[in-house]
Amino acid sequence: MPLLVLPATLLVLMLLVMPMAGLFRISLNQYSPTELMVSALTGQNYLNAIADPFYQKILLITVGVALGCTLLCLALAIAPAYWLARMESRWKSAFMILTLFPLLVGNVVRAAGWMALLNTDGVINAFFGLFGLGPFQLLYTPLAVILGTAAVVLPYMILTLASVIESVPRQTEEAAANLGARPLTVLRRVLLPQAAPGVLAGSVLVFIMAMNAYATPVLLGGPSFRMLAPAVYDQFVRVGNWPFGAALAFVLLFSTLALSFFVSFALARSLRAKTN
């Protein structure tokens, strides 16, 4: 058995652990405008990243966008996930493929579509203009980033929920309905607690992807909107401060992991409370 997992272990070490270890070593170096990077063992880059109000604000914005995307995706995914899970048609596989179809389009192309919709002269403002309203500033706002990012990660939430709801016995819903429970009560008190693993897995997956989004915040948020992933890119490519960029990358990583555990705990506790 150990020999069977050895190739996969070596692959993980080469593709994940070793690059991360190298990046961590870079984060402990010092930046020099003339030499770019001076070998050292210091945590000053982490202190600068955590103590700087500018990057504190960027972290808060990143967390806010990620939470907004998670809640929006959870609200939008329940109905289509339930519909897919309970479908007994021969076209079920085709609808599953259609759910995955947006993933075949690049994030930049999808962001360009949202720019056409949200622009001052775009479709949405043109619609409001028919009623004498607007134009509204929709593009280059946090709302545009949340909508664009949610559109990217929504299929993951739908498919994760659908796979778990499919395993929930339909008889429990029918029994609750026969006892007089309304559809929303059945959803809140019967279905969601049983589908808790899917809710947790989908929420954590969406939260992680939203925390690390790059193309969508850059294109839909504009130059004045900052999130941590673009900030890491700026330090590596534009500024050339590799030690500080590596430290920011690990701040993003640790923040994502810590908040993912918090989101999982909060959702699990909420779902358990609904069953009582």
pLDDT in tens, 91-120: 888 888 888 888 888 888 888 889 989 988
* Structural domains of the chain, ranges and CATH numbers in brackets: 57-275 (1.10.3720.10)
262-269 contacts: CB < 8 A, separation 24 or more? 263/67, 263/70, 263/203, 263/204, 263/207, 264/200, 264/203, 264/204, 267/196, 267/199, 267/200, 267/203, 268/196, 268/200
* pLDDT at res. 275: 55
Which stretches of the chain are assigned E, i.e. beta strand?
A: 30-32, 36-38
* pLDDT at res. 270: 67
Low-confidence ranges of the chain (pLDDT < 70): 1-4, 270-276
* pLDDT at res. 58: 94
Apex CA 21: angle with CA 17 and CA 25, to 5°? 175
Sequence-ordered list of residues with C-beta below 8 angstroms from that of 165, at least 6 positions apart, any chain: 81, 82, 85, 86, 191, 195, 198
Write the burial class of residue 264 (CB in 10 Å: 0-12 exposed, 13-18 middle, 19+ buried): middle
